[in-house]
A = this chain, B = another copy of it.
Amino acid sequence: MHHVPENQWYVIALTREITDGLLARTVCGHDIVCYRVPDGRVVALRDRCPHRRYPLSRGRLEGESLVCGYHGFSFDCEGRCISVPGQELVPPRSDVATYPIVEQGMWTWVWIGDRSPGAIRPPATPWIAGDPHWSAVTGMAPIDCRFELLVDNLLDLSHETYLHRANIGTPEVAATPVHTRIDRENSSVLLSRHMEGVECPPFYARTTGLASPIDRWQDIEYFAPSYYQLNVRIAPAGRPPDVSGADPDAFHLKILYGLTPSSADRTYDFWAVCRDFSLDDEEVSATLDAMQQKIVIEDVDALNILERRIAQDTDGTEAVAGIDRGALAARRMIAALTGAKGDAEFEIDAEGIVRARP
């Protein structure tokens, strides 16, 4: 896999997906099987039996042991081969690699890399991890596109106006300029778009009860490579937070994305929509879930198409608009994190045109 940063945390699964069954995922090209053992811990092993390379995810659990479904090699939670049928001894080099795992509420993260994570933790996401002032829905969609296309997509929300017209995109999103701040030290990009006195799209109208005009803020925090947070503030027009920061008339949402490269041209798009209102209202949950899924599928369809086009594109140039500052900075951060600064896949020429390197 080119240009995918390793020694990083990536979301590998929705926590509810990890049960006493065997879940196969591929993260940064690593085939991984994960499962929950009786004491509740999550185990993640390389999904490849060292004997005949059969996927261990096709085997079965016996207590804490994972038994290969082809010839019965068995492995404990540390990946050690503990028995081979028909013989006393276990052959040399028949252990499998394990992967560090952290569960944080609704999402479970895996560490991919040759170094230990040490004290590094995944990004904090309290809104999906027990904070009593928040309620959330979550899901995942696989996309047949390279990771960078999803980064591009999320860092330029002007596309809401065109690709997601039906429930979230109003003309004002594309028309309102954004303020972009690049924080190279933290490999972070901050984008801010504050729309005042604008139309309330169905996504918010149907869940908050607000009617147009509203004030609608989009404050994005992207931490390269794998975590994206859209902080949304929706309020009746003209009622900003007071000087103390109190904001009683507003509704707040945090729309989180875990961006996980699978293979060179596949990506997992994990998402969560968190809100600080109607916490126990299941109809609001169901509405947000359904509308967000529709938005994600619109992105999936577009990015699947775009990947096929880009894979065949012999030209490689891209024109740059002002809105692209954030996405271009993100691409550079990802390239830097892969240590590929010198041979990133694109460059920007004197006229400001993005150009694929030959």
Chain A residues close to B by CB (< 8 Å): 31, 48, 50-55, 58-59, 67-73, 81, 84-87, 91-94, 152, 156, 158-159, 161-163, 174-178, 302, 305-306, 309-310, 313, 315, 317-323, 351-353
Beyond known contacts A55-B309, A71-B159, A86-B176: 17 more, CB 8 A cutoff: A48-B309, A48-B313, A51-B318, A51-B321, A52-B318, A53-B313, A55-B305, A69-B163, A70-B162, A72-B158, A72-B159, A81-B319, A85-B174, A87-B321, A91-B321, A92-B352, A93-B351
Do A352 and B54 touch across chains, with their CB atoms under 8 A apart? no
> What are 19 A-B contacts with C-beta separation under 8 Å?
A48-B315, A50-B318, A52-B306, A52-B318, A53-B306, A55-B305, A55-B309, A69-B163, A71-B162, A71-B174, A71-B321, A86-B158, A86-B177, A86-B322, A87-B177, A87-B322, A91-B319, A93-B317, A94-B319
CB distance from A53 to the nearest CB of B (A): 6
A162 and B92 in contact, given A51-B321, A54-B302, A174-B85 (Cβ under 8 angstroms) = no
For A356, the closest partner residue in chain B by CB is: B53
- Bound-complex Cα distance A87 to B51 (A): 60
State the 3 A-B residue pairs at the shortest beta-carbon distance, nearest first. Answer: A85-B174, A94-B319, A50-B319
Option from B71, B81, B313 in Cβ contact (under 8 Å) with A158: B71
- Bound-complex Cα distance A313 to B310 (A): 26
**Chief secondary structure at chain A's binding surface:** loop
Do A86 and B319 touch across chains, with their CB atoms under 8 A apart? no
Q: Which residues does chain B contribute within 8 Å of A161, judged by CB atoms?
A: 72, 85
Do A318 and B156 touch across chains, with their CB atoms under 8 A apart? no
- Bound-complex Cα distance A61 to B250 (A): 37
CB distance from A16 to the nearest CB of B (A): 26
- Bound-complex Cα distance A22 to B171 (A): 22
For A308, the closest partner residue in chain B by CB is: B55
CB distance from A345 to the nearest CB of B (A): 13
CB distance from A239 to the nearest CB of B (A): 25
Q: Which residues does chain B contribute within 8 Å of A86, judged by CB atoms?
A: 158, 174-178, 321-323
- Bound-complex Cα distance A351 to B92 (A): 7
Do B313 and A58 touch across chains, with their CB atoms under 8 A apart? no
Do A323 and B71 touch across chains, with their CB atoms under 8 A apart? yes
CB distance from A228 to the nearest CB of B (A): 18
CB distance from A348 to the nearest CB of B (A): 12
- Bound-complex Cα distance A280 to B172 (A): 55
Q: Which residues does chain B contribute within 8 Å of A67, judged by CB atoms?
A: 162
CB distance from A30 to the nearest CB of B (A): 11
